[in-house]
Amino acid sequence: MPRESLATKCARTGAIIDALKRAYPDAHCELVHRNPLELLIATILSAQCTDKMVNQVTPGLFQQYRSPADYAAASQEQLEQAIQRLGFFRNKAKSIRACCARLIEQHEGEVPRTMDDLQALDGVGRKTANVVLGNAFGINEGVVVDTHVARLSTRLDLTREKTPEKIERDLMKLVPREDWTLFSHWLIWHGRRRCSARKPDCAGCEIKGLCPTGRQGAKA
């Protein structure tokens, strides 16, 4: 597949954004939350789990634990029991307790609003920090790269990188900053509803004409 110039790829990315915006006007973070703390906890829990699974656990969790102090005061065993339906629940419980203790010690119990402060919290990497900043505070600091975003970005030939960090850097060059948070949601919604990993619906795809993979399938 020949490489596009940056200008050509930016123009194609803009057309992809316009089409996805029309297809998914209500795209949003599908982790159910009511405040920044709940989103932070839900995102930590979502590592190697589906949003659907997390959303089955968090209603009871959020009813029982309402503040960083509640999580920090819980025993490891108590928190493990509350989230044991999720993968890696022991490590996640440990991270959440330590994260919330740090929120109390260093941030007066508030979720911080900077990338550096968020990444300094236990269990929080750049992806989680981007989710919280973009969806809780409306701060476009980067592009969330999950499995859907990585897969679709490759299929759309927006990147040829393999690691989330390098994929994110490529996407940040192509997508206007004001769309960074929503761009992830548009790709995630498209990945879940149209462009699945094993059997993408290229025939019904809203961006087939902008997708090198889809065009190749149409010619086959």
Active site residue 146: yes
Per annotation, catalytic residue among 70, 117, 122, 146: 146
CA–CA distance, 118 with 132 (Å, rounded to integer):
9
Sign of CA dihedral 72, 76, 78, 81: positive
Per annotation, catalytic residue among 9, 51, 92, 127: 127
Task: Name the residue among 39, 4, 218 with its Cα closest to residue 144.
Answer: 39
CA–CA distance, 29 with 210 (Å, rounded to integer):
25
Active site residue 94: no
CA–CA distance, 138 with 122 (Å, rounded to integer):
22
The type of residue at 217 is G
Which tokens go with 198?
């094993």
- Cα–Cα separations (whole angstroms), residue 10 to 157, 162, 177: 12, 20, 13
Contact 79, 71 (CB under 8 A): yes
Q: Give me the active site residues, please.
A: 127, 146
